[in-house]
Structures are given as structure tokens and as C-alpha cells.
Structure 1
């Protein structure tokens, strides 16, 4: 969460846009995002240059030499944030409008790339040089504050805070996934250098960014010092789909800023026939829209064969099974209703997960995890597509705390089950002797099948009742009479005082 001085600075920046005439929140967020990307592009270029120098590798800066913008050639250095932010306001404005903005729109040089496609209709809307100068100065202050905080998640938190100003949830029930929950899911799934990773409802590409960061941290040599793996990482590993063009632009810029040169971020209705992907991905990470209800005629016929329903949360689960290759893994967030819903579609989908594939884990999360955006109770399903079963025992975990208070403030607290969840999931052998009264335990497939494939943890968790000894009834009554006498005496004393 963005709090304190940083929140105040972002609100002040928002105010500059607002008083300058940009009053549509979507326009403000788009313009902020473009400028953040321009700043981050400069910063990332400097970082990559330093890393290349340390590793004795050659690195060609995107700002080196002269750059062609339209039919003009300009010095690449003047396109850097660190250069133009010192220009007088009029020169800064003309540089950004005429050169920097067209430069980032055609950054790939490939007019067919996803990035170029979604930047093609981006418009520079800041109306005056003075307003741009104020915005750039305010953003420099924000980046200085970010550097002092030294938090890896602060950039993501700023995105979250900006997006929260749009609305709490979209029409299909989509809302932002907290960064620490995304990172927990990525740590549980441990992406590999040869994975093909997809989020069919990617939004700002949070899961894809976290997966790319994980690979940088855990498999740096394997990914970046191997030519084939590096090429795969930069161009073919990350796939994201969404129906919101603004989110796609933000997602593409987010991925590129995090060092992925050509992510496959596409405009696509994942649930329709527009999405032909079958048996393609080795890892799916997603938090699909929850509350949407679609017409049958726009849903892919393949998905309706698996479960005839209009509910997006069920259709997305059916989609994940179709999109995964055999042996492919999925970790997705679902509303609690998916785990215990009694409709035919709910049961059919849970049965397909358990009987036709391998369901590995169900992690129950508390309802406050998505506050302040929503108070829904959710769970995480982890499964592997086999096509022929394989579920033996399903591991359940009852998450009580995620390191933040479960109210709207979401303040940091000491209680945090996330490290325990990750450690236990990666050592499931050690879970076999655990009792149903504990926070995590196994449930055999047969027992789940006998319970209509119900996956709610409360169906299987046992509550340990501790007997409480109460005093005899006569003693309680005697204490009540004593209290009554005492109250009467004090009332009499009060009455006497009032007479005086």
C-alpha cells in the first residue's frame, strides 16, 4: 500500500493533472504511465549498461548515436529523461511531444509487435509546457522518495494506487491482485527457464512481471548466459491477454521496463473463439474476473462442452485446462463459491480437476486479502494437466494472515503465513502425518469424491474443542445477587447526593 509522504506526492501530481484540465481518471493514469515508462526506460538502460560492463558484455544503448523520428534524425541522448528534465519548459515540451513520445511508440521497430500495436493509438494529452514542467518535477520528487523507501514492490504499489482511483472493480468483477500474493503464487510454482507462461486475464501483467523477476533472481545464469534461453525469455516465454486496451498498454510497458524486450501481450477475449490456444502453455498464473456472466453465444463452444455455464470464474478454469499442455501446471485464484458451489457446472468442473487431472493443493485465503477493493473470500487452486487423472491426496492450507491487517487500511503486521505455506508446499512429504486440527493437512481423493467434490477446507477441518469448567449455578446466582445489592446501594448513595 502507498502511504505517508509518497501518497501525498502522488496525490499532488494527480492534482496537477486535474487543475490543468485533464479530469478523466483514465486519461490521467495513461499519461502518468507513459511518463513513468519514459523515466524507467532511461533508468533501465543505465542499469543494463552497468550490468553489461560488470559482465564484460557488449551493450548497445537504445539512446546511443542518432535516432530517426519520422523523417528527422535527432541525438538519442536528448530523449533520455535525465537529459530533457533540465530543459526550459518550452524546449522540454517540444522535445517530449515531437521526439520522445513518437520514439517510445515505435520502440520495437516492428510494427507487428504487441507493444507497437497498443502504443499506436496512444496520444500525448498534456496541454501546456508549464504543466509538463510541473509534472516532471513532481515525478522526480516521487522517484527520489521511492529510492529512499528501497522497496522492490514500491513501483507496483504506485501502479496499484493509481489504478484504485479508476474504480474498485470492473464490470466483470476484476480487481488488482496484491503484489505479495502474486509473489507467493510465483514462489509456489517455481517457474523454469524453459517454461511458456500465460495469464489469460493479465491486466497490468503483475503475474508475468513477478515470474520474470523470479527467473532473474533464481536462474540468472541459466536464463541470461545461455543464448537459446535468453532469446526464449525475451521473445517467447511471456504471454498475456486482456480486453482493456489501457491495461494492455500498461502491461506491455510494465514488462519492458522489467527487462522483457518483446512480451506477447495481446488484445483477446480469452473465453471466446477468438482464443484458439490449445495444449500450448507449460505454466498458467492467473486471477481471472469473478462476478461476470456471459451470453452463451460469445463463449467458445469447447468450453461449454466442459461446463455449460455463464459464470466467468468457471469458464476460465475450463479454459486453463484447455490451454495447458499435458504436464502443464496452473495456479489460479478463485472465489470460494468455486470450491463448494452445488450447481451441475460447479461439480462437473471440480470433478474434471480431480478425476481427469491432478489437483495438488487448495489454499484458503481470508476475506480481507483483497481489501480495500473487495471483501470476497478466495482460494488458490494448484493443479497439473494430465488428461488421465493422478489426484491421490489433496493438500489443504488454511491461511489466517498474510502479513497485513485484514481491514481496509491493510497495515503491516507480524503475523504472516506466507513463508510457512511456501515451505510446506515444497516439502509435502513432511505433511503426511498432520492432523485435521492443524493449519495444513492432506485429504484423500476418495473422501473428496464422496463429498460431491467439495473443496472447501471447512468440510474437512476438525475443530478441537477445549472443555471449559464453569462454577455451579448456585454460585453464579449468588454472585448476581451480590452485584445487584451493590448496585442498589450505589444508586441509593447517588440519590442522596442529588438531594444535596
Structure 2
């Protein structure tokens, strides 16, 4: 998190202040414009690294900045009536508008003077980015209405310089922490949102990176899985799944080739690396086809697309769709779903997908049911929900929990402390982990859940106030809170080693049989099953306590002399002592 790097935080503050004073005061507009610049910078870096890796591996790589580019409006298009001479003339005319792609690189235009730079970026670089993947690409489609609205040359020059400083600091930070995988755009987006302390529309806000990593470790996505987030925002969960898979592949390859891969845990105890450029072409294609995201905010769709592209996914599958509406008809499509859907708000009853059976307009309930429907049989979901879903007494709440217990193998309920999503929201949340066993139309011969594992997270390694400051252990190291303990205990929950503790209802984690949950009306709140431990406390007799109070007033005085002490307080204490005996 950027809050834990003062230098990086300072650079982002500078950038934000420059946009504010430069006339772009709308937070989301500023974030989007900043993201375009981050994307330009990251694209140049990524392309250069891919070229270097290809040369080292003696492979072929075609740079995105190789050759010439012609803006779409000037491209020659041959019509049926065109003769060869006509077509030749069109091609010659097209050459007049060719732009050398090398001039569109960040490192080329960043040295330009203000007015020239602004004109160059507005008229050439930004249109090139919008057209990066060709006319038919999903990215080009969603970038069609994107506009570059930085109004002043001085603002662009300052922003370019500051972003260069940000990338330099990020590189230093990643090397220092032993981590080479950075969600650059996501981190900046998260920090800017925290600065303006807004949760966005309809309860949307970015999930902290360490919580995304936690979910990835719990659901363990694999290469070849079809992975989705039906309310993806800036694509954090998709990137988290991709990051997890890439790290697993790197470790497996190193082990196979007997290469020592030295990776240090990050500040939250997670090990991650990025070797996407060194993956085989086939692996890259599989990964690119694995990740699917949807959102109802066109700005978030663009941010998500650029976020994934900044990390080597050339053509992300992120689209503008309301996954709860009638127009979205997918079902039983995905192996893995990781999501933090909107917590608040209701949707138009008339537009709810008719396949959703819960009689409610509450989005937090409908999203969980929809995630269940979107999973293939055997598919697993990790979903963040408000804790009210666990114990709500309404009919729809109970029906949803019954679906999770009977039609799914509800593996775990992990409650999170209320400060995890500050400063955006202080709502208490929980993680649900479940695997789909029975489809919506299947007859349930036997409920799928045998036991539900509960864990009460007390700390996530950060302060639970608005500042979310990184906490330290007594020896001065970064605290991991309960993050790594949750992963270890979750994956060991069915082993004999943890069997005894899983039956201890006074511990921070334990298992509850389905029969007991059924008897409690499918209540899934941890407090319903946790047993409180009451420690017997012994207190001194009242007379002993009163003696201490008297001595505190007058010091060491023999009891026969106490009456001579002319103190109203002492007299009253003596009177009280006489009453209690």
C-alpha cells in the first residue's frame, strides 16, 4: 500500500495537487487522466523489457513501436469500384499521414517542450493508444469515447516528470522488498480514492491488495481455469489471480530446472513475482483467455483494461455489462470467481435477470446468487460480503444461505475486522469460500456441505482506522496480522493435526457441522457458534480496599490514631468501613 512508502505517497500527492490546481478537480476524471499517462509510461517500459527478454531467449518479438502508424480516419480503404490505379493513389495519400511509432514512446516525447508535447500527445500518442490493438479489439471499442483533456502544457510537463519519479520510486521499492510485481495503476487509484475518502457509486471501492492476495491463496486459481469477477472495477481481483498463477508457474519451472528462485515475502507475507515476458507463447495465450471481468461503469472498464494491459495481458476480456440484468445470460461458465461486489443499493426490479430466484432487490444478495449460478459444477468462489448477509432474518437472506449450505460445499466463513475497508467504509465484512456441487435445477439428493470452517480475523497487519498504517511486530518487522495464519489453517482444516482445534469453539477458528447450522435457521454468523471464555476474577474484601484508600490519603498511620486525622474524606471512609464490617 502506498501509505507505507512516504516518498511514493509524497509523489502521488504532488501529482494530485498539480491536477487540482491545473483545473481538473473532478476526482474520477483526474484518476482517469493520470491512468492514461501511467499507461503510456508503463507501455514503453513493458515493450522494452519484452524486447530484452526476447533477445536473451533468442526469440522473436515485434515491438508495438516498430514501423509506422496511420490514424484510422486516414487509412486507405479499398472499395469494389476502385481500379488498381485508384487503390495505388489511396495508398500514396495514406503515406502522407504516417507517423513513425518510435516517436510515440514515452522516452521520446517526455523531452519535448510544453506546447509541442501537449500537441504531440493529444493528436498522436493518445489516438495511437486508443487504437493499440486494432479496429476489432475490445480495448479499442471501450476506448472509443475516451478523451485526453489535460488542458495546459505546463500541467502535462509537470505530470510527466512526476510520473517518471513515481516509476523510479516504485522500482526502488520493489527491489528493496524483493517483489517485482506491482499493481501500479491500482495502487495509485487506491491511494487517490483514499485521499478523497469516497466510496464511489453504489458502494463500490477498491479491495486492498493484501486482501486480494489472501483470496487468491485461498481459492488457488490454476493455469487453464476460466476466472471471472462480475463486478471487477479496476480489475484488482483478475490481476491478483493472474499474479498468483504466474508466481506458481515461475516456482514450478524453477523447481523443474533445478534453478534457485530467491523470492522474499512482501510486507504482508505473500510471495509474488512477474515473469510474464518469459512465459511461452502458448502459456501467455491461455492466461489471456482465462480472465473475464464485467462492470457497469465505463470508466472502470477502461481502467481495468489498462490495468491488465500494463501487466502484460495484451487483450483483456473486460466488458461493460450489468451482470444482474436480463441482458446478461451466462450460466455455469467459470471455474473460479473472485469478487467484492457492491455492498449497498438496490436495483430496478424490472431489470433483474429472471434466472435469479431470490425475491429481493438487494444487490449484495443477488450478486452472491449470481456468482453461484455463474460457477461451473466443481467451480469455487471467494466472495467478500457485508456480515449482515450471514445473519439477516429476511426470507431472501435465509434462502441464499440455504443455497450456499445445501447446493454448495460452503467451505469457510472468515470474518474481517470492520476497519479493513477504511477510509471508504467501516462496515463489517466476511469472506465466503464455496464450491458449487448442485445446479439451480438439480434435485439435491444430499446437502453438499458437511462442515463449515469459521475464522475470526482480528488483525490484517494494518491499523483499523482511516490511516491504515502498517503495523510492526515487537522486533520491528512488518506485521502480517492473521493473513498467513488463515491460509495455513484453512488448507490444514481437514487434517488430523488441526482436528482438535477445529472442535474448540473458544478458539479463533473452528468447524461447525451442517446439522447445527440447519437447526439455527442457516445462520452463518460466527458469534452464533463461538463460545466465550469467562475468566474468574477474585477481588479483595471491601474492608481491605477501604484500608488502601485510607492509607493513600493519610499515609502509614496506626489505626488508633486515624480518628485524630482531621480529613472529611478519611472520616467518610472510616464510616463506610464501619458499615461494611
Sort the TM-score into its range (normalised by shorter chain).
over 0.9
CA–CA distance in structure 2, aligned partners of residues 225 and 419 of structure 1:
28
2:337 is the counterpart of 1:268: no
2:301 is the counterpart of 1:232: no
CA–CA distance in structure 1, aligned partners of residues 566 and 60 of structure 2:
91
Q: How far 1:262 sits from its partner (Å)?
A: 1.3
Identify the residue that residue 387 of structure 2 maps to in structure 1.
Answer: 336
Matches within 5 A, 1:416-455: 416-428=481-493, 429=495, 430-434=497-501, 435-455=504-524
Identify the residue that residue 465 of structure 2 maps to in structure 1.
Answer: 407
Matches within 5 A, 1:136-151: 136-150=160-174
Q: Which of 330, 335, 341 matches 1:282?
A: 335
- Relative to structure 1, is the Cα distance of residues 186 and 481 closer, same or farther in structure 2, using a 3 angstrom cutoff? same
CA–CA distance in structure 1, aligned partners of residues 33 and 157 of structure 2:
14
Q: Which of 67, 76, 91 matches 2:69?
A: 67
CA deviations on 1:417-439 (whole Å, 9 max, x unpaired) are: 10111111222213321111112
CA–CA distance in structure 2, aligned partners of residues 136 and 418 of structure 1:
37
Identify the residue that residue 212 of structure 1 maps to in structure 2.
Answer: 242
Between 1:473-482 and 1:96-105, the stretch displaced more is 473-482
CA deviations on 1:284-330 (whole Å, 9 max, x unpaired) are: 00000011112321211211x2x111111100011011111111110
CA deviations on 1:355-407 (whole Å, 9 max, x unpaired) are: 12110011011111111111111100000011043211111111111111111
Q: How far 1:167 sits from its partner (Å)?
A: 5.2
Contact 1:153 1:179 in 2 (8 A): no
Structure 1: any 5+ residue segments left out of the alignment? 493-500
Between 1:149-158 and 1:37-46, the stretch displaced more is 149-158
CA–CA distance in structure 1, aligned partners of residues 194 and 45 of structure 2:
26
- Relative to structure 1, is the Cα distance of residues 408 and 164 closer, same or farther in structure 2, using a 3 angstrom cutoff? closer
2:531 is the counterpart of 1:480: no
CA–CA distance in structure 2, aligned partners of residues 443 and 363 of structure 1:
13
Identify the residue that residue 244 of structure 1 maps to in structure 2.
Answer: 297
CA–CA distance in structure 1, aligned partners of residues 28 and 536 of structure 2:
57
CA–CA distance in structure 1, aligned partners of residues 43 and 298 of structure 2:
21
Contact 1:25 1:165 in 2 (8 A): no
Matches within 5 A, 1:102-141: 102-111=127-136, 113-141=137-165
CA–CA distance in structure 2, aligned partners of residues 179 and 401 of structure 1:
15
Between 1:287-296 and 1:314-323, the stretch displaced more is 287-296
CA–CA distance in structure 2, aligned partners of residues 41 and 227 of structure 1:
19
Contact 1:395 1:442 in 2 (8 A): yes
Structure 2: any 5+ residue segments left out of the alignment? 75-96, 254-275, 439-443, 474-478, 556-564, 570-581
CA–CA distance in structure 1, aligned partners of residues 57 and 566 of structure 2:
86
Q: How far 1:477 sits from its partner (Å)?
A: 3.0
Q: How far 1:252 sits from its partner (Å)?
A: 0.3
2:370 is the counterpart of 1:319: yes
CA–CA distance in structure 1, aligned partners of residues 215 and 140 of structure 2:
30
CA–CA distance in structure 1, aligned partners of residues 182 and 392 of structure 2:
35
CA–CA distance in structure 2, aligned partners of residues 50 and 397 of structure 1:
46
2:378 aligned counterpart, secondary structure: strand
Q: Which of 172, 175, 187 matches 1:157?
A: 187
2:70 aligned counterpart, secondary structure: strand
CA–CA distance in structure 2, aligned partners of residues 377 and 411 of structure 1:
19
CA deviations on 1:87-140 (whole Å, 9 max, x unpaired) are: 2223322221121101110111143x3211211111111123333212211222
2:379 is the counterpart of 1:364: no
Contact 2:197 2:423 in 1 (8 A): no
- Relative to structure 1, is the Cα distance of residues 489 and 46 closer, same or farther in structure 2, using a 3 angstrom cutoff? farther
Identify the residue that residue 496 of structure 1 maps to in structure 2.
Answer: none
Q: How far 1:478 sits from its partner (Å)?
A: 2.9
CA deviations on 1:240-293 (whole Å, 9 max, x unpaired) are: 111111111110000111111111111111111121110101110000001111
Contact 2:183 2:307 in 1 (8 A): no
After superposition, the CA RMSD in angstroms is 2.2
Q: How far 1:66 sits from its partner (Å)?
A: 2.2
Identify the residue that residue 89 of structure 1 maps to in structure 2.
Answer: 114
How many residues get paired?
488
CA–CA distance in structure 1, aligned partners of residues 56 and 129 of structure 2:
27
Identify the residue that residue 382 of structure 1 maps to in structure 2.
Answer: 433
- Relative to structure 1, is the Cα distance of residues 296 and 229 closer, same or farther in structure 2, using a 3 angstrom cutoff? same
Contact 2:213 2:240 in 1 (8 A): yes
CA–CA distance in structure 1, aligned partners of residues 485 and 204 of structure 2:
28
Contact 1:353 1:383 in 2 (8 A): yes
Identify the residue that residue 498 of structure 1 maps to in structure 2.
Answer: none
Contact 2:331 2:374 in 1 (8 A): yes
Between 1:191-200 and 1:53-62, the stretch displaced more is 53-62
- Relative to structure 1, is the Cα distance of residues 147 and 128 closer, same or farther in structure 2, using a 3 angstrom cutoff? same
1:370 aligned counterpart, secondary structure: coil
Identify the residue that residue 42 of structure 2 maps to in structure 1.
Answer: 40
2:488 is the counterpart of 1:395: no
CA–CA distance in structure 2, aligned partners of residues 37 and 335 of structure 1:
33
1:338 aligned counterpart, secondary structure: helix
Q: How far 1:29 sits from its partner (Å)?
A: 1.4
